[in-house]
A and B are shown apart, each in its own frame.
Chain A
Amino acid sequence: MATAIRTEGLTKRYGDVVALDHLDLEVARGEVVGYLGPNGAGKTTTIRLLLGLSRPTEGRGEVFGLDCQLQPVEVHRRLAFVPGEANLWPSLTGGETLALLGRVHGHVDEAYRDELIDRFDLDPTKKVRAYSMGNRQKVILVAALMVRPDLLVLDEPTNGLDPLMEQAFRHCIGEARGRGQTVFLSSHVLSEVEALCDRVGILREGRLVEIGTLAEMRHLSALSVEATFDSAVPDLSGVPGVSSVETNGRVVRCQVRGSIQPLLRALADADVTELVSREPSLEELFLALYGEDGHAR
């Protein structure tokens, strides 16, 4: 079976509030998928349903062909989860916590665990109570990675990590991908998702509004074009597909949707000294999607 995660009409309602609305999602094995959305969009709800921590109102989810609700133990043998908030047992040390979680899971790559402790610069003799928030987060990251699961489910995993540690995290995810592990990464650190993920799903108010590769999604947004002119600046506002024209001295910035041909033709007659076009970043894509009626939440 080639799918790691599959949901069919997965729905969760809390009273009148729809937290997740008929989610159909499929993640292939070995894929690294980003899961985006603002706070309250339903990211954590999706993950808790997949993990069997919450019960769906409708629909179902499966992981490696196993039902998330009916076979949670079998599902959990093959995955590891990192929550965004590291609530651990304050009286245990980091090392004891790792030992406990490793034994509960069943098998641990001990050499890799020690390497991770090193890489994340973690002091395992310290009690959880004495750890900073970032250090607690490292403990659960190590706990998840050290079992080398087939599927890593990460819910805003880099909460509280400093840039160096975030780099180490990205490195580990890169390794996981290299070994063929599947990664499901919910995040609102867009640069992280952009750097790591093959595909991105975007969730809004409990509904999956987009899913695809970054390349596929780029057509959704405009291309940014910046042109510098030697002489008179032409009026580009009437050109088909062009919008948001801003003129600043001899520099013109605009957005282009659809074909770029009309703009190129319009520029051909002018004295262009410099032309820069840039694909939209994930952040721009995200804001474009939410800009439409993202405010009317």
Chain B
Amino acid sequence: MHAEPTVAPPVAAPVRAERFPGTVVARLSARRAARSGAVWGLIFGLSIASSEVSYTRIYTTQAERDALAAAYGSNKATSALFGPAPQLQTVGGFTVFKISMTLMILGAVWGLLTSTRLLRGEEDSGRWDLLLTGLTTRRGATAQALAGLGAGAGLLWLLTAVVSVLSGRGSKVGIAAGPSLYLALAVVTTAVMFLAVGALTSQLAETRRQAASYAAVFLGVSYALRMIADAGVGLHALIWASPLGWVEELQPITAPQPLALLPIIALTAVLAAVAVHLAGLRDVGAGIVADRSHSHRHLALLSGPTGLAIRLLRATVIAWWVAIAAAALLYGLIARSAGATISGSSVREVFAKLGAPGTGADAVLGVCFLVLAVLVAFVGAGQITAARAEESGGRLDHMLVRPVSRASWLSGRLLVAVIVLLLSSVGAGVFAWLGAASQHSSVGFTTLLGAGVNLVPPAIAILGIGVLAFGIRPRTTSVVVYGLLGWSLLVVIIGGIGATNHWVLDTSVFHHMASAPAAPPEWEANGIMTGIGVASALVGGLAFWRRDLQGE
């Protein structure tokens, strides 16, 4: 025996004293929430800063600023999409209009994903059980996790605030620290509310995905209510029925109204308290809304890996389709009246800078279709991350140890993905036409169908680059696709204002897309984007064939 003689430690000796055993869960979730909170805080801060700086560069004269205000100040289409634009003559007013709705929604998505991941997700994986065997209770652990999430949101606010205060100090920007801090607070409040929403839905649902879907529905309803309130159809009071409306009513920089914080704080506190209470009422691992544990056999799609993919993805895809169709329909409905507000050459110039030349409904739809392009690209990103999840979850093994080749598995999934993207895009065009036609708008069916198909290439590029990541570094798949998507979106938002280096612009998958129907689709650019996607997918597929399957 070569083993070293070991001396058993005295039984009573403490291994390593944990000084605050009652805060382990809080610190664990704080650490995980802080990581993404910090990244998003920087992104939020930089978006605000870039918006401020570019405004001062582009709109240098009062005349230009007045023209901008004339274009958007009373534009109900953009007001419905991005919120009202009361003070476009000032850098602060412009920034609030340009960036705050996007950041509010991104913050809400961050909040609901983070809290469902760290609450229901941990429970799903069984790790929650381990934590609960420590010195805590179900309610205690949930409260602690919420405190940890709060710390993550705190960091999100801190970084947003630091960057925007620094940017506000710039001589041309000239926004004082107070208003900058308040602006950062306003954009982060949705994140806080949706952390609490996610905490509640994590108690209701039995799986992380379900919990996130419930929270997403809440977000969708909030956005829709706010949209109607801001669409200028005489229902502005609805703004108080929507949590996103409350955030809008904070009116940072333009006309601060801190009283609107009251419903925000109240909702957050109530949701968090109810979540903690419910955590004590239910069994660990179960949801308040019971999932059916038995079911009849539905074998129609279960004929092979591709059928299985359709079955597993259909609920999510249908939810996306409903969202895309609803958005497209709404854009179609408001296009004509919004288009009527665009007149005069200076206004047209401003719209052209956003990539939507022309006047009238098609110009408005040109901007709206960019939002639809982002939604369709999200669908593409979801397809490849779902494929990766099959692998990392060990479920792909069951297919590939049977007579299914890697090539047929991957190509089947990609075929499904491409069909889903095509249908999403065509649907966007058709529903936008339905909305527009009902208002007797002059934009034709084939134009809008073309504008729909025009949404496919960026999504194909995202999908293809996702396959490349999946093949070469599978564990980075979701970071790569969502990172690229977020980056592309930011570049377009910033680039839409004007002066940005064309090398930077070129990295955005949306930059190369013509803003149809305002401009005709550029089929050559679309071909190049599609080509990039296809080539990346081929290289990724080859790399996938050559590599080991890898778990998480």
On chain A, the residues within 8 Å of B135 by CB distance are none
Q: In the bound complex, how far is the Cα of B296 from the Cα of A144, in angstroms? A: 23
Q: In the bound complex, how far is the Cα of B299 from the Cα of A100, in angstroms? A: 8
What mask results when residues 347 to 388 of chain B are scored 1 for a CB within 8 Å of chain A, else 0? 000000000000000000000000000000000000000000
User: Does A90 reach chain B (CB closer than 8 Å)?
Assistant: yes
What mask results when residues 98 to 113 of chain A are scored 1 for a CB within 8 Å of chain B, else 0? 0111011110000000
**In the complex, residue of chain A having the shortest beta-carbon distance to the beta carbon of B6:** A295
B548 touches A48 (CB 8 A): yes
B402 touches A105 (CB 8 A): yes
User: Does A93 reach chain B (CB closer than 8 Å)?
Assistant: yes
**In the complex, residue of chain A having the shortest beta-carbon distance to the beta carbon of B392:** A87
On chain B, the residues within 8 Å of A79 by CB distance are 401
**In the complex, residue of chain B having the shortest beta-carbon distance to the beta carbon of A127:** B293
**In the complex, residue of chain A having the shortest beta-carbon distance to the beta carbon of B399:** A104
B312 touches A91 (CB 8 A): yes
Q: In the bound complex, how far is the Cα of B305 from the Cα of A105, in angstroms? A: 11
User: Does A188 reach chain B (CB closer than 8 Å)?
Assistant: no
A87 touches B302 (CB 8 A): no
What mask results when residues 141 to 160 of chain A are scored 1 for a CB within 8 Å of chain B, else 0? 00100000000000000000
User: Does A32 reach chain B (CB closer than 8 Å)?
Assistant: no
Partner of B405, one of A72, A96, A99, A127: A72
A103 touches B302 (CB 8 A): yes
User: Does A73 reach chain B (CB closer than 8 Å)?
Assistant: yes
Partner of B206, one of A51, A72, A129: A129
B58 to nearest A CB, angstroms?
51
Q: In the bound complex, how far is the Cα of B222 from the Cα of A42, in angstroms? A: 54
Partner of B302, one of A96, A140, A295: A96
User: Does B502 reach chain A (CB closer than 8 Å)?
Assistant: no
A interface, size bucket: 35 or more
Known: A88-B398, A291-B1. A96 touches B298 (CB 8 A): yes
Q: From residue 150 to 198 of chain A, which have CB atoms closer than 8 A to chain B?
A: none
On chain B, the residues within 8 Å of A140 by CB distance are 398
What mask results when residues 78 to 97 of chain A are scored 1 for a CB within 8 Å of chain B, else 0? 01110101011111110110
**In the complex, residue of chain B having the shortest beta-carbon distance to the beta carbon of A291:** B1
| Residue in B302, B397, B406 whose Cβ sees the most chain A Cβ within 10 Å | B302
Partner of B548, one of A53, A76, A96, A103: A53
B396 to nearest A CB, angstroms?
9
A125 touches B401 (CB 8 A): no
Q: From residue 375 to 430 of chain B, which have CB atoms closer than 8 A to chain A?
A: 393-395, 397-406
A130 touches B293 (CB 8 A): yes
Q: In the bound complex, how far is the Cα of B398 from the Cα of A104, in angstroms? A: 10
**In the complex, residue of chain A having the shortest beta-carbon distance to the beta carbon of B303:** A103
**In the complex, residue of chain A having the shortest beta-carbon distance to the beta carbon of B408:** A73
User: Does B308 reach chain A (CB closer than 8 Å)?
Assistant: yes
Q: In the bound complex, how far is the Cα of B551 from the Cα of A87, in angstroms? A: 11
A89 touches B308 (CB 8 A): yes
Partner of B401, one of A51, A103, A106, A293: A51
B394 touches A89 (CB 8 A): no
On chain B, the residues within 8 Å of A74 by CB distance are 403
B405 touches A73 (CB 8 A): yes
Known: A54-B548, A55-B546, A106-B403. A90 touches B293 (CB 8 A): no
Partner of A52, one of B3, B312, B400: B400
User: Does A126 reach chain B (CB closer than 8 Å)?
Assistant: yes
B401 to nearest A CB, angstroms?
4
B302 touches A83 (CB 8 A): no
B317 to nearest A CB, angstroms?
15
Q: From residue 252 to 297 of chain A, which have CB atoms closer than 8 A to chain B?
A: 291, 293, 295-296
On chain B, the residues within 8 Å of A22 by CB distance are none
Partner of B402, one of A101, A125, A295: A101
User: Does B18 reach chain A (CB closer than 8 Å)?
Assistant: no
**In the complex, residue of chain A having the shortest beta-carbon distance to the beta carbon of B304:** A104
A105 touches B3 (CB 8 A): no
On chain B, the residues within 8 Å of A95 by CB distance are 297
Known: A90-B207, A103-B304, A295-B2. A125 touches B296 (CB 8 A): yes
**In the complex, residue of chain A having the shortest beta-carbon distance to the beta carbon of B298:** A96
B403 touches A77 (CB 8 A): yes
Partner of B397, one of A83, A91, A96, A291: A83
What mask results when residues 160 to 172 of chain B are scored 1 for a CB within 8 Å of chain A, else 0? 0000000000000
Q: In the bound complex, how far is the Cα of B402 from the Cα of A105, in angstroms? A: 6
Partner of A104, one of B299, B404, B406, B548: B404
Q: In the bound complex, how far is the Cα of B302 from the Cα of A96, in angstroms? A: 8
B312 touches A87 (CB 8 A): no
B207 touches A129 (CB 8 A): yes
| Residue in A85, A90, A95 whose Cβ sees the most chain B Cβ within 10 Å | A90
On chain A, the residues within 8 Å of B207 by CB distance are 90, 129
A130 to nearest B CB, angstroms?
4
A100 touches B302 (CB 8 A): yes
B394 touches A104 (CB 8 A): no
A99 touches B395 (CB 8 A): no
**In the complex, residue of chain B having the shortest beta-carbon distance to the beta carbon of A153:** B401
User: Does B237 reach chain A (CB closer than 8 Å)?
Assistant: no
Known: A91-B312, A93-B295. A55 touches B548 (CB 8 A): yes
Q: From residue 41 to 67 of chain A, which have CB atoms closer than 8 A to chain B?
A: 48, 51-55
Q: From residue 11 to 61 of chain A, which have CB atoms closer than 8 A to chain B?
A: 48, 51-55
Q: In the bound complex, how far is the Cα of B105 from the Cα of A67, in angstroms? A: 53
B395 touches A127 (CB 8 A): no
Q: From residue 470 to 510 of chain B, which have CB atoms closer than 8 A to chain A?
A: none
A156 to nearest B CB, angstroms?
14
Q: In the bound complex, how far is the Cα of B394 from the Cα of A79, in angstroms? A: 19
B72 to nearest A CB, angstroms?
46
Q: In the bound complex, how far is the Cα of B174 from the Cα of A101, in angstroms? A: 65
Known: A99-B299, A103-B302. A85 touches B394 (CB 8 A): yes
Partner of B294, one of A48, A126, A293: A126
User: Does B547 reach chain A (CB closer than 8 Å)?
Assistant: yes
B402 touches A89 (CB 8 A): no
On chain B, the residues within 8 Å of A104 by CB distance are 304-305, 399, 402-404
A53 touches B293 (CB 8 A): no
B511 to nearest A CB, angstroms?
38
Q: In the bound complex, how far is the Cα of B551 from the Cα of A85, in angstroms? A: 12
**In the complex, residue of chain A having the shortest beta-carbon distance to the beta carbon of B292:** A127
On chain A, the residues within 8 Å of B265 by CB distance are none
A76 to nearest B CB, angstroms?
5
Interface residues of A (CB under 8 A from B): 48, 51-55, 72-74, 76-77, 79-81, 83, 85, 87-93, 95-96, 99-101, 103-106, 125-127, 129-130, 140, 143, 291, 293, 295-296
Instruction: Give me 7 other A-B pairs in contact (C-beta within 8 A), A74-B403, A100-B308 excluded.
Output: A48-B548, A48-B549, A53-B549, A96-B298, A99-B297, A104-B403, A296-B2
Q: List 5 interface pairs A-B (beta carbons < 8 Å), by A numbering.
A: A72-B405, A89-B395, A93-B294, A127-B291, A127-B292
Q: Which 5 A-B pairs have the closest CB atoms?
A: A87-B394, A130-B293, A54-B548, A295-B3, A100-B302
